[in-house]
Chain A
C-alpha cells in the first residue's frame, strides 16, 4: 500500500512565477491536509480538503494561495506570483477519518525554492 505521494520533490521558481504542488493521498483516504514548514520553524496548518470541497482554509494566506481536491486526480496546492518568502517545505497529509479521531500520514514533501 503506497504512502502519501507528493511531486515534485523539489521545485525552483523565479519571483512572479506560479508553483503547483501535487499530492496523492494514501489509498482509501479521503481527507487531505496541507502544511508548510519554514526553516527552523514548526509545521503550520494551511488547508483541509475532502473530495471536491475545501473544509477549512483558515491557515492559508488570503492572496496568491489556493487549493483543490478534485473528484479525480491529486490534490493541488497552487501558489501564484511566488515571492522569496514562499520558500519552504510543503507537506501533504491524509487520513481515513477527520483529525481528532484518526491519524494523519505525511508525504515526503515538496521543497520550494524561490529565486
Chain B
C-alpha cells in the first residue's frame, strides 16, 4: 500500500535557523514527488516536482532533494513569512495525488 509519512509534525525555528523537513514514501514505481506549501485558509501552492533520485531543486530559501526512499525540504535562514504547512505528495494510482499530513512550520522573529 502506498504510504507518505512526513516528519516532524510541527517545527518551530528562530528566524535564520536552518533546518530540514522529511518526507518518506513507499510507492511502487515512483512517478514524481511533489512539494506544496499551504497557508491557513488557503489552497496548496505548488513548490517543486522531483522525478529521480539525486535530483535537487531550489527556490529562494528552499531546496528539495530526493533519494530512493525519501525527500527532504531544506530551509536555509528562514524568515517569518516562511511559516506555513509544507505538504509532500506522490501519485497514488493513476489519477490522484496521495498526500502526507504535512509539517507545520513556525518561524519566530
Contacts and interface: CB of A to CB of B under 8 A. Distances in A.
Interface string A30-74: 000101000001111100100000011011000000000000000
B32 interface: yes
Interface residues of B, number: 25
Given A42-B102, A43-B87, A106 B45 contact: yes
Contact of B97 (A6, A104, A109): A104
A85 interface: no
A42 B43 contact: no
- Indicate the size class of the contact surface on chain A: 20 to 34
B99 A42 contact: yes
A45 to B, nearest CB: 4
Contacts of A17: none
A99 B42 CA distance: 22
B44 A56 contact: no
Contacts of A98: 94-95
Nearest to B30: A100
Nearest to A3: B43
B42 A109 contact: yes
B49 A48 contact: no
Given A106-B43, A108-B43, A42 B87 contact: yes
Interface of B: 31-32, 34, 36, 41-46, 49, 87, 89, 91-102
